[in-house]
Structure 1
Amino acid sequence: MKEIVKDVTVAFVIVFIIMQFYEPTRVFGISMQPNFHEKDYLLLSKEAYAKSSPKRGDVVVFQSSLVSFKGDKELLIKRVIGLPGDKVVIKNGDVYVNGKQQSDYYTEDRYTAGDISVTVPEGEYFCMGDNRQHSTDSRFSSVGCVSSSLIKGKVIFRFYPFNKAGKIKSI
């Protein structure tokens, strides 16, 4: 019996330590298709930005001001498009960062709706979903640019569905 108690205690300690640095999360909705789908299970690194900043192309999870039907503030998963100080322009379905047209090969429709010109404030990030036609993101005033303090972490691994399990790479 002592061995079982010891094993369970060690397991809890290990899980507690791991949870200080990583957090499992799940995808809700279609805003990140075709790269992430409803009910994908992902691993979030909470320490990814402890000594560095998000990079363009990183997939992040952040606390938004949007409120769910349960009354909770929603966590959103989006891709970093613009960094602090970048000028992001969306026109004629294309995205430009600092005057350079972005390749949107990873998006659902390769078209981005909107007519936007914004300079990303210091300490904030311009984030969009990969399914641009069905994503509430930094293009909308309800989300806007995302403060670094609201970013919970970087998506680093998908562990379900099993046939798509693996490390998540930035675009």
Structure 2
Amino acid sequence: MKIKKQESKFLIVLDTLMQLAVILSLAWFVVFIFGDRTYMVGQSMSPQIEQGEAALINKAAYTFFKPKRFDVIAFKNRDGRVCIRRVIGLPGETVNIKDGYVYINGKALEKFCEASTGGLATEEIQLMSKEYFVLGDNRVGSEDSRTSTIGNITKDMIIGNAWIRLLPIKRIGFIR
């Protein structure tokens, strides 16, 4: 009788471990297929994402939908380095930065509208059908679409939506 009770407990523990293994395997598979991890290089997105912090990228986010204004995206720049910036200008729009403010189609943006310098956007920029204009949240120290090293981002450069800060643990959370 005692042996059957011990066998029963053993089977329950084994069953629980098997279920946990399946769940963890599925979670890893989903993240591996639809996600990616990158580390923030530089201060372009400070204070939202700081130098060296890890972010999870949703690679499936833009499979069926297009990036929206103010989305935080990850993309490969022309050197192949992964960058994280905020979408400001959408395909077909004009972008201009003057007197420290960002203008889309001639109207000043109310949110995230301040920019220290205009760079390439000092003169009005017309975005083509698959181009996006991105800015870092740290406008003073950001290498973004205002600079010739980044410029306008094309749809095929976009990896996905940067949506969760993974590290450091004390700052885990959604990226807004």
TM-score bin (small chain) = 0.7 to 0.9
Q: CA RMSD in A?
A: 2.2
Question: 1:149 and 2:122 equivalent?
Answer: no
Q: Counterparts in 2 of 1:3-152, with a 5 A limit?
A: 10=22, 11=24, 14-66=27-79, 73-105=80-112, 110-114=114-118, 115-152=122-159
Contact 2:48/2:175 (CA < 8 Å) preserved in 1?
Answer: no
**1:112 Cα deviation after fit:** 2.8
Q: How many residues align?
A: 156
Give SS of 2:87's match: strand
What is the CA–CA distance in structure 1 between the aligned matches of 2:26 and 2:102, rounded to whole Å? Answer: 46
What is the CA–CA distance in structure 1 between the aligned matches of 2:36 and 2:82, rounded to whole Å? Answer: 13
Deviation per CA, 1:122-144, whole angstroms, max 9, x where unpaired? 01111111111211111122222
Contact 1:88/1:118 (CA < 8 Å) preserved in 2?
Answer: yes
Rg larger in structure: 2
What is the CA–CA distance in structure 1 between the aligned matches of 2:64 and 2:97, rounded to whole Å? Answer: 31
Higher mean alpha-carbon deviation, 117-126 vs 128-137, is at 128-137
Deviation per CA, 1:1-32, whole angstroms, max 9, x where unpaired? xx8xx89x855565234211011211111011
Contact 1:129/1:137 (CA < 8 Å) preserved in 2?
Answer: yes
Taking structure 1 as reference, are residues 14 and 111 closer, same or farther at Cα in structure 2, changes over 3 Å only?
A: closer
What is the CA–CA distance in structure 1 between the aligned matches of 2:138 and 2:155, rounded to whole Å? Answer: 23
Give SS of 2:83's match: strand
Q: Which has the higher strand share?
A: 1
**1:162 Cα deviation after fit:** 2.7
Give SS of 1:15's match: helix
**TM-score for both structures, normalised by structure 2:** 0.79
Identity %: 35
**TM-score for both structures, normalised by structure 1:** 0.81
Query: 4+ runs of 1 displaced by more than 4 Å?
Result: 9-14
Contact 1:28/1:39 (CA < 8 Å) preserved in 2?
Answer: yes
Q: Which has the higher helix share?
A: 2
Contact 2:61/2:161 (CA < 8 Å) preserved in 1?
Answer: yes
What is the CA–CA distance in structure 1 between the aligned matches of 2:111 and 2:137, rounded to whole Å? Answer: 9
Any unmatched runs of 5+ in structure 2? Answer: 1-13
The residue identity in structure 1 corresponding to 2:88 is: I
